[in-house]
């Protein structure tokens, strides 16, 4: 992809920026092709390690992954897309390579994943309305893309405090997610657990996993609010 087609800069200005990024190790050059450099690893690690949300919820997500054997995540939203802040694989977790590959990029799955819908439901009303105007991809037969039906589900999620994903992103995968709010009741992210529908079913899906995740989100929220409180 030509950068000049994506940004409003002249080729000369783009070359100057790339030369600076290359000097500091943020990009690498091979002939006329540029790719991300190892310096970006340090930036990513710094964001994760210094995140209040990571510090507040990481222990709870790791515990969920250990107790359920599935995949636990901390997820944040950025410009309508999802970014995995932390991910822990339990002993029975499946699809590791798929999830590791997707972890490296923002995902347009806010409408069909448990963590995504948990965040979506608690965004400010004007942001929810703005996102609901988008054309969301239909990834499986269960993916909900109709704006009005999505709006109804988001209202239900706000009322009960958690979200389900029932084979909506991937056929055969279910998940449960719950939001984490700041002391001002603004959603900062969500935690979730997902796994195969052959294991996550019945009471495990609708009750046991819900109880575990809502509890973990509550503890994470308390951690967040107490850790960031002014002394």
Coil, strand or helix at 5: helix
By residue range, what is the domain housing residue 70? 51-227
**Within 10 Å of residue 151's Cβ, how many Cβ atoms?**
14
Segment 176-203 shows an average pLDDT of: 95
The percent of residues above 70 in pLDDT, for the chain, comes to 87
Residue 207, pLDDT > 90, answer: yes
With contact defined as beta carbons under 8 Å apart, do 138 and 129 qualify? Answer: no
Q: Per residue in 120-177, pLDDT tens?
A: 999 999 999 999 999 999 999 999 999 999 999 999 999 999 999 999 999 999 999 9
pLDDT at 199: 94
In contact, 144 and 150? CB cutoff 8 Å: yes
How many domains are there within the chain?
2
Residues 160 and 135 reside in one and the same domain: yes
pLDDT value at residue 231:
38
Quick check: 110 and 131 in contact, CB under 8 A?
yes
Residues 25 and 55 in one domain: no
6, 7, 9, 10: CA torsion to nearest 10: -10
Q: Is the separation of the CB atoms in 111 and 149 below 8 Å?
A: no
Q: What is the pLDDT of residue 46?
A: 59
CATH number at residue 68: 3.30.450.40
Contact 118, 177 (CB under 8 A): yes
For residues 103-125, average pLDDT: 91
Q: Are residues 80 and 33 in the same domain?
A: no
Task: Determine the pLDDT at residue 32.
Answer: 75
Please say if the pLDDT value at position 85 is more than 70.
yes
């Amino acid at each position: 992809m030509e950068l000049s087609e994506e940004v409003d800069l002249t080729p000369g200005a783009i070359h100057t920026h790339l030369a600076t990024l290359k000097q500091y190790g943020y990009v690498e050059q091979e002939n006329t092709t540029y790719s991300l450099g190892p310096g970006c690893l340090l930036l990513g690690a710094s964001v994760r390690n210094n995140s209040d949300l990571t510090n507040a919820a990481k222990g709870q997500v790791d515990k969920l992954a250990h107790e359920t054997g599935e995949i636990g995540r901390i997820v944040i939203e950025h410009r309508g897309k999802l970014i995995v802040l932390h991910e822990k694989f339990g002993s029975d977790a499946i699809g590791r390579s798929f999830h590791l590959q997707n972890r490296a990029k923002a995902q347009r799955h806010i409408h069909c994943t448990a963590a995504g819908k948990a965040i979506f439901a608690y965004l400010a009303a004007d942001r929810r309305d703005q996102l609901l105007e988008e054309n969301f991809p239909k990834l499986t037969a269960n993916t909900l893309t109709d704006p009005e039906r999505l709006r109804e589900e988001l209202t239900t999620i706000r009322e009960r405090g958690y979200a389900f994903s029932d084979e909506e992103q991937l056929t055969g995968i279910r998940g449960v997610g719950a939001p984490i709010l700041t002391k001002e009741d603004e959603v900062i992210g969500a935690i979730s657990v997902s796994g195969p529908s052959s294991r996550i079913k019945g009471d495990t899906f609708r009750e046991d996993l819900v109880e575990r995740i809502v509890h973990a989100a509550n503890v994470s929220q308390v951690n967040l609010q107490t850790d960031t409180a002014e002394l």
